């Protein structure tokens, strides 16, 4: 029952991600005319489903615990002296509540600063953080169920579900890469200038791909996660154009003269992630018998692969000089960004290790 609920929560998270892709396209191509635009409604639907399903599962497990129907201290936790349910469900519920709370604050922010607020505006970050928190709760829920299983077909299937959810979570994180292909893609720390896209890409890749391997300890885990990311990308590319056309026509709106002819969020989930995943999986197969070395060597390799991917996937290099910074030297800017990119890759590997240890220990 919990795994069925986790599947519904995963669909809710994917709904939010697709709604966000639609919203980013809407802002870029049309503008923003009110709070309840069609993409906002889809985003809110995903958030509401995350919150309501997690609450329903908490109440159901609490009821089962009181009736002695298999819910106990071995597979759930006591919360607020009232509820008895897995911790992951509580994290999902709190994350959904945080994301829902961000919407009215974001509307107020837009009222003050206008429709073209940057993607990394405070309440956009709050909204994304809430949903990512909710998705981590779903991962914790699935990992807890898998960790209590004996090795076999059921555990393998549960691990596949975990990896798909991890791919959805990574897709949500990577949506912030869109900032790197906008006018704000060139950022500054004092007199130091760097490109946001490679830094964010180097941070994201290890978080998803190394976590996949370290939690499931299965060859091919990183590849399944990358394929899930690309499936979300394909879903966005399929859904957004038709949704844009239908909504714009239904509301009698017009496109901006500068409206892009491509799906903006496609740049956020680069195809090179599949190559990075294949390399990490191949290295894991080689290193997994060296118990004491597999974690540090894979962490180092994952960070290096993430930095290398920033050389392969460079949509910013075609967009920023053409539309925003005509004098930009792409090679020089990549090199200038390299120290921060390497630091982000190391941080991503460290976060993957921290997250993986928590997920690997999940039981309740």
The separation between CA 116 and the C-alpha centre of its own chain, rounded to angstroms, equals 23
**Nearest 5°: phi and psi at 195?**
-95, 130
**Quick one: pLDDT at residue 52?**
97
**Of the ranges 70-79, 215-224, 282-291, which is most confident?**
215-224
Q: Is the confidence at residue 70, as pLDDT, over 70? A: yes
Q: For residue range 230-261, list pLDDT tens digits in order.
A: 999 999 999 999 999 999 898 888 888 877 87
pLDDT for residue 91: 96
User: What pLDDT score was predicted for residue 262?
Assistant: 80
**φ, ψ for residue 110, nearest 5 deg:** -65, -35
| pLDDT for the residue numbered 115 | 65
Mean predicted confidence (pLDDT) in 180-193: 91
Give CA–CA dist 364/243, Å, rounded. 40
Kindly state the DSSP code that residue 151 receives in the 8-state scheme.
S
Q: What is the pLDDT at residue 197? A: 97
**Predicted confidence (pLDDT) at residue 205 exceeds the cutoff of 90:** yes
Which residues in the chain belong to E strands, given as ranges? 77-79, 83-85, 186-189, 192-195
Structure confidence at residue 117 (pLDDT) = 62
Mean residue pLDDT of the chain comes to 92
Residue 291 has pLDDT above 80, yes or no: no
pLDDT band for 116, please (50, 70, 90 cuts).
low
Once rounded to an integer, what is the mean pLDDT over residues 8-30? Answer: 92
Q: Is the pLDDT of residue 37 over 80?
A: yes
Residue spans per domain, the chain: 2-360
Instruction: Report, as an integer, the average pLDDT of 280-300.
Output: 89
- Average pLDDT rounded to a whole number, residues 213-217: 95
Handedness of CA 92, 1, 14, 234 (dihedral sign): positive
Residue 222 near residue 280, CB atoms below 8 Å = yes
Task: Mention every residue, 6+ apart, whose C-beta is less than 8 A from residue 283.
Answer: 297, 298, 301
């Amino acid at each position: 029952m919990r795994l069925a609920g986790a599947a519904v929560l995963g669909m809710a998270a994917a709904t939010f991600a697709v709604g966000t892709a639609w919203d980013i396209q809407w802002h870029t191509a049309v503008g923003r005319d009110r709070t309840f635009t069609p993409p906002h409604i889809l985003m809110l639907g995903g958030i509401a489903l995350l919150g309501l399903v997690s609450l329903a599962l908490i109440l159901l497990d609490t009821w089962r615990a009181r009736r002695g129907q298999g819910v106990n201290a071995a597979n759930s936790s006591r919360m607020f002296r009232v509820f008895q349910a897995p911790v992951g469900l509580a994290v999902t519920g709190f994350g959904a509540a945080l994301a829902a709370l961000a919407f009215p604050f974001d509307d107020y922010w837009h009222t003050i600063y206008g429709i073209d607020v940057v993607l990394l505006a405070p309440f956009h970050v709050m909204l994304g953080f809430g949903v990512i928190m909710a998705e981590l709760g779903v991962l914790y829920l699935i990992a807890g169920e898998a960790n209590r299983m004996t090795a076999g077909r059921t555990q393998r299937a549960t691990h596949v579900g975990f990896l798909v959810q991890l791919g959805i979570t990574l897709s949500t994180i990577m949506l912030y890469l869109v900032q790197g292909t906008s006018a704000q893609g060139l950022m500054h720390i004092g007199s130091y200038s760097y490109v946001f896209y490679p830094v964010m890409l180097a941070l994201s890749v290890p978080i998803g791909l190394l976590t996949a391997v370290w939690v499931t300890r299965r060859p091919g885990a990183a590849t399944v996660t990358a394929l899930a990311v690309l499936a979300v990308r394909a879903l966005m590319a399929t859904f957004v154009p038709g949704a844009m056309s239908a909504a714009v026509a239904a509301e009698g709106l017009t496109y901006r003269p500068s409206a892009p002819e491509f799906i903006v969020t496609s740049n956020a989930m680069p195809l090179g992630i599949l190559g990075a995943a294949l390399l990490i999986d191949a290295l894991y197969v080689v290193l997994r018998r060296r118990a004491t070395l597999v974690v540090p060597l894979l962490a180092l390799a994952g960070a290096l692969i993430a930095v290398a991917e920033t050389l392969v996937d460079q949509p910013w290099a075609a967009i920023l000089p053409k539309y925003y910074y005509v004098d930009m030297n792409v090679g020089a800017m990549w090199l200038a960004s390299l120290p921060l990119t390497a630091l982000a890759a190391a941080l991503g590997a460290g976060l993957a290790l921290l997250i993986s240890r928590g997920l690997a220990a999940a039981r309740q």
